[in-house]
């Protein structure tokens, strides 16, 4: 049966703001306290989704989270009416309030790890929401993420949903941002590539010194077990600790892969030669590795331009496109490298450039904004049809954003009780548009 790579992008939520919450993510730290424009952010994301859907790619939408997260604030001891909870948190612990208001679920590359049915022993598509335990503001996403994934892929004949791993540093799991699946045909057995930042139970192994390694090998191995993967078709690799210390907080900031192509920086992995050899051996021929040399693209340029946070897409025309953020065009060295790449002798044929500045300013490029789900024709039919992008959904969601979103948001605005009302009103309507049922705590 024919299979496709579907990309499910996260819809930017109404509380998108710059709170500087992600230590180790250079953009998040540098843009703290900037004024955000949630409306623009959501429309930039929708434009990418619609453009790719128009090119014949399978494109879906994942709903954002309920924010401000009053329920978590209550768990932390703030009490009273919702407005009182917000007021007390703003006064006593404004940084905790900020963590409970982040729209960070927009980066759905971190929502979960997905294994397609061609790779799993029971021939179902497996989903494990990522616990995102390294950052408090992200560790509160996985329950609702699981609800949204179940509402999108509900048929238990085809889809198997797991709970997030235990939420501690030992099993820190950042989802698909550190997972790539290679294959020759999407519907055939592939090679699943798990990249981690450190070993939790072996302190003799190398680890970054300055910034946290968010993801452990123990988490990757647990997900591979849950997904019933055949060890013959799995490769584990450690991120180069030095590049984590240079701001590469997820592997998808320094490498991207799709089908039989790996595009990465020369310094992406520890013991890169062995990683390349293992992947080539398991792919068994016709595997292309495009490695950008440090002398042409420094790690710093990779981090600031997000060259590797690109989407590598197999177009229906048979060509391969690289979807990059505008920041790549603004960096002369990266721009020159990309020009030589598409004109050179390699499988990347063209680039598509998107303005995603609102998301980029928090460290989220084109690849962060999407969760890949390889689905065969029967699985596409079994998924929630209301979540697939087309002209009518694009029109509806654009109007919905226009009606409900603000065009200016600062950290001070997060305590405004009106923002909570606006956000819940918007999300309630969204669950109807996307036919999700009740996925949010405020609806239960």
Nearest alpha-carbon partner for 48 in 13, 9, 5: 9
Nearest alpha-carbon partner for 388 in 52, 14, 43: 52
Q: Is 227 in the site for ligand SUG (CB under 6 A)?
A: no
Q: State the residue for tokens 């709170």.
A: 19
Tokens for 336? 């020159």
Q: Which stretch binds ligand SUG (CB under 6 A): 113-121, 190-198, 247-255, 336-344?
A: 247-255
Q: Is 368 in the site for ligand SUG (CB under 6 A)?
A: yes
Whole-angstrom Cα distance, residue 187 to residue 16?
37
Known active-site residue 100: no
Residue 194, φ and ψ in degrees, nearest 5: -105, 125
Name which position in 9, 252, 301, 327 contacts ligand SUG (CB under 6 A).
252
Least distance from ligand SUG to the Cβ atom of residue 40, Å: 16
Q: Is 104 in the site for ligand SUG (CB under 6 A)?
A: yes
User: How far is the first Cα of the chain from the last one, in angstroms, to the nearest whole number?
Assistant: 39
Q: Which is nearer to ligand SUG, 20 or 190 (CB)?
A: 20
Q: Which of residues 160-199 bind ligand SUG (CB under 6 A)?
A: 177
Q: Is 22 in the site for ligand SUG (CB under 6 A)?
A: yes
Q: At what angle do helices 82-92 and 417-433 cross, to 10 degrees?
A: 120
Whole-angstrom Cα distance, residue 251 to residue 180?
10
Active-site residue, selected from the candidate residues 5, 66, 141, 174: 174
Name which position in 10, 14, 20, 172 contacts ligand SUG (CB under 6 A).
20
Known active-site residue 192: no
Q: Is 102 in the site for ligand SUG (CB under 6 A)?
A: yes
Whole-angstrom Cα distance, residue 289 to residue 262?
5
Name which position in 3, 6, 19, 140 contacts ligand SUG (CB under 6 A).
19
Name 386's Cβ contacts closer than 8 Å, sequence gap at least 6.
393, 433, 434, 435
HEC secondary structure over 300-334: HHHHHHCCCCCEEEECCCCCEEEEEEHHHHHCHHH
Q: Which stretch binds ligand SUG (CB under 6 A): 18-26, 153-161, 191-199, 275-283?
A: 18-26
Give the DSSP per-residue string, 38-67.
HHHHHHHHHHHHHHHHHTT--EEEE----S
Q: Which stretch binds ligand SUG (CB under 6 A): 57-65, 164-172, 246-254, 383-391?
A: 246-254
Known active-site residue 174: yes
Sign of CA dihedral 371, 374, 378, 380: positive
Q: Which is nearer to ligand SUG, 20 or 60 (CB)?
A: 20
Least distance from ligand SUG to the Cβ atom of residue 164, Å: 15
Name which position in 39, 124, 138, 215 contacts ligand SUG (CB under 6 A).
138
Q: Is 28 in the site for ligand SUG (CB under 6 A)?
A: yes
149: exposed, middle or buried (C-beta count within 10 Å: 0-12, 13-18, 19+)? buried
Q: Is 68 in the site for ligand SUG (CB under 6 A)?
A: no
Name which position in 7, 15, 25, 240 contacts ligand SUG (CB under 6 A).
25
Q: Is 69 in the site for ligand SUG (CB under 6 A)?
A: no
Q: Is 363 in the site for ligand SUG (CB under 6 A)?
A: yes
Q: Which is nearer to ligand SUG, 104 or 387 (CB)?
A: 104
- Tell me which residues touch ligand SUG (CB under 6 A): 18-22, 25, 28, 102, 104, 107, 109-110, 135, 138, 177, 250, 252-253, 362-364, 368
């Amino acid at each position: 049966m024919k299979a496709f790579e579907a990309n499910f992008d996260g819809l930017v939520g109404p509380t998108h703001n710059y709170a500087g919450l992600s230590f180790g993510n250079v953009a998040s730290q540098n843009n703290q306290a900037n004024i955000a424009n949630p409306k623009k952010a959501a429309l930039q994301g929708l434009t990418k989704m619609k453009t790719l859907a128009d090119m014949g790619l399978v494109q879906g939408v994942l709903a954002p989270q309920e924010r401000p997260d009053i329920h978590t604030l209550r768990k932390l001891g703030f009490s009273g009416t919702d407005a009182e909870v917000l007021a007390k948190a703003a006064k006593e612990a404004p940084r905790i309030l900020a963590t409970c208001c982040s729209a960070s679920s927009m980066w759905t590359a971190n929502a979960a790890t997905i294994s397609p049915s061609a790779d799993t022993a029971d021939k179902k598509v497996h989903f494990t929401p990522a616990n995102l335990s390294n950052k408090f503001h992200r560790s509160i996403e996985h329950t609702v993420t699981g609800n949204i994934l179940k509402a999108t892929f509900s048929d238990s004949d085809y889809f198997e949903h797991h709970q997030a791993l235990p939420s501690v540093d030992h099993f820190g799991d950042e989802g698909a941002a550190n997972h790539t699946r290679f294959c020759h045909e999407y519907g055939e057995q592939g090679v699943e590539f798990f990249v981690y930042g450190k070993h939790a139970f072996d302190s003799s192994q190398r680890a970054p010194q300055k910034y946290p390694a968010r993801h452990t090998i123990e988490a990757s191995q647990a997900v591979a077990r849950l997904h019933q993967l055949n060890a013959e078709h799995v490769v584990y690799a450690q991120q180069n600790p030095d590049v984590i210390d240079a701001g590469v907080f997820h592997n998808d900031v320094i490498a991207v892969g799709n089908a039989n192509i790996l595009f990465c920086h020369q310094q992406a992995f520890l013991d890169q030669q062995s990683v390349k050899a293992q992947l080539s051996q398991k792919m068994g021929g016709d595997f292309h590795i495009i490695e950008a040399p440090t002398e042409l693209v420094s790690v710093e340029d990779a981090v600031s331009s997000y060259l590797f946070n690109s989407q590598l897409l197999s177009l229906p025309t048979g060509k391969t496109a690289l979807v990059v953020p505008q920041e790549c065009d603004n960096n002369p060295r990266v721009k020159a490298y990309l020009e030589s790449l598409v004109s050179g002798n390699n499988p990347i044929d063209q680039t598509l450039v998107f303005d995603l500045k609102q998301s980029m300013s928090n460290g989220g490029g084109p690849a962060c904004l999407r969760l890949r789900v390889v689905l065969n024709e029967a699985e596409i039919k079994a998924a929630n049809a209301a979540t697939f992008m087309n002209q009518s959904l694009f029109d509806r969601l654009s109007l919905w954003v226009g009606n409900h979103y603000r065009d200016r948001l600062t950290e001070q605005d997060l305590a405004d009780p009106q923002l909570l009302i606006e956000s819940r009103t918007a999300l309630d309507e969204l669950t109807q548009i996307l036919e999700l049922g009740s996925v949010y705590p405020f609806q239960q």
